[in-house]
Amino acid sequence: MNDATKCPACQSEHAYQDRDLWICPDCGHEWSPTAGGTAEAPADAGVRDAHGNALSDGDSVIVMKDLKVKGSSSVVKGGTKVRNIRLQDATDGHNIACKIDGIGAMNLKSEFVKKA
């Protein structure tokens, strides 16, 4: 029995295997087990900004380019400081959830921000 499998997203020990996937009931994360048990370099170990600095929940970041806000005509200007980000799992790359003054809640891609 392998009881060492934890959810890579939230470290929950409640993860279970379903066919070829592991599923975490706590956060909904799904992932494929690493074949062979070899520890490969984790490609997505944490969220990194445009300069490769690791980001954490609660960090402040600066938007590096103008970003159109989906579903509105608003634009987040490059240079906008965003406080209190929250990292999230996102298959489309929008791995930062945040609230921006004058815009509201939105998601950002970490590649377009730098740590403040």
Q: How far is the CB of 15 from Zn ion (least distance, A)?
A: 7
87 binds Zn ion (CB under 5 A): no
Least separation in angstroms between residue 14's CB and Zn ion is 8
Cβ burial, residue 71 (10 Å; 0-12/13-18/19+): exposed
Which of 22, 24, 87, 112: binder of Zn ion (CB under 5 A)? 24
Q: How far is the CB of 76 from Zn ion (least distance, A)?
A: 29
Alpha carbon distance 62, 14 (integer Å) = 36
- Strand, helix or coil for residue 111: helix
Tokens of 22: 């592991």
Residue 27 contacts Zn ion per CB under 5 A: yes
